[in-house]
Amino acid sequence: MSNITVDLIKELREITGVGMGKCKEALVEANGDLQKAIDYLRKKGMASGAKKEGRETKEGLIGTGESDQAIALVEANTETDFVAQNEKFKTFLADVANQAAETKPASLEAFMESPYCKDPSLTVEQYRNLLIQSLGENIQLKRVEIIEKDANASLGIYSHMGGKIITVVEISGSDDAQDVAREIAMHVAAENPDYLFPEDVPKSVTDRETEIAKSQLKGKPENMIDKILVGKLRAFCDQVCLSCQKFIKDSSISVGQYVEQCAKDSGKELKLRRFWRWRVGQ
């Protein structure tokens, strides 16, 4: 409609905090009448939390959902930890995490526009706005990731600090090694590795570590420097690579050696494949 200008859409967005697309939709429904468009959005449960939308959200929790085909990670943020511990918030997070695992959305944006599993008359975004009205704080879904299950692999999930940190580890070679994967997921929560194997460390990182090490070796005999550098880079990988880190439950072995032991005990070729470590606000 000619009376629905970009400036009018922006004005409605400023008033309500709702996205441009939904504001345009509301104005079309209201024939360009700003107040009727506001009422339309409020009836849809989308404008009720408008004044709270701009508030900073630093707290929150990470939820996990699981289906036969996937595991979903979802981070939901709040203004205070008090609301993050509210049962309504926790139920919402559990619901959307399970929904994401079942539906495997292509993006967070697509997920927000999908029907909410507990009330298909509302989208996830609309229900989020109703929750803002109910709990009195800004609530945001920050990110979602879908981890596809492999028929010949096991996934272990570990929740730390009540959902402030969530880790997932994938072990290939068996579909019944979840306990092994979870033990390593617990390790990931505590030790926060950056890489899986030494070969995964980018050259730019190893070059930087080499340069730092060289600056510490000034004055050393040239025939010793190369050997010392090899040792220093090995020690660096022992700190940042999951497979090389000392296993938290048995510091006499590395995580990689723990997997080898489990493989030998089970008679299966178990191998570390991937890991995820999510922290609220990351």
Is residue 110 domain-shared with residue 23, that is, in the same domain? no
Looking at the structure, tell me whether residues 98 and 84 fall in a common domain.
Answer: yes
130 lies in some domain: yes
% of residues, the chain, pLDDT over 70: 94
Whether the predicted pLDDT of 235 surpasses 80: yes
Domain match, 56 and 132 both: yes
Longest CA span, the chain: 82
β-bridge mates for residue 145, sequence order = 73
pLDDT tens, position by position, 37-80: 887 887 776 655 555 555 677 899 999 999 999 999 999 999 99
Give the C-alpha separation, 241 to 259, whole Å. 14
Residues 67 and 129 in one domain: yes
**Same domain flag for 56 and 85:** yes
Query: What would the pLDDT profile of 191-227 be if each residue is shown by its tens digit?
Result: 999 999 999 999 999 998 888 888 888 777 877 888 8
CATH at 38: 1.10.8.10
Q: Report DSSP state, residue 165.
A: E
Own/partner pairs, 55-61, CB within 8 angstroms, 24+ separation: 55/79, 55/137, 55/138, 56/138, 57/138, 57/139, 57/140, 57/142, 58/281, 59/83, 59/84, 59/280, 60/84, 60/142, 60/280, 60/281, 61/89, 61/90, 61/93, 61/162, 61/163, 61/164, 61/280
Domain check: are 38 and 70 in the same one?
no
How is residue 266 written in tokens?
């089970």
* Average pLDDT score over the chain: 91
Q: Indicate whether 66 and 144 sit together in one domain.
A: yes
Q: What is the CATH number of the domain that holds 134?
A: 3.30.479.20
C-alpha to C-alpha distance for 59 and 75, rounded to whole angstroms: 10
Task: Round to whole Å and give the CA distance between 141 and 128.
Answer: 9
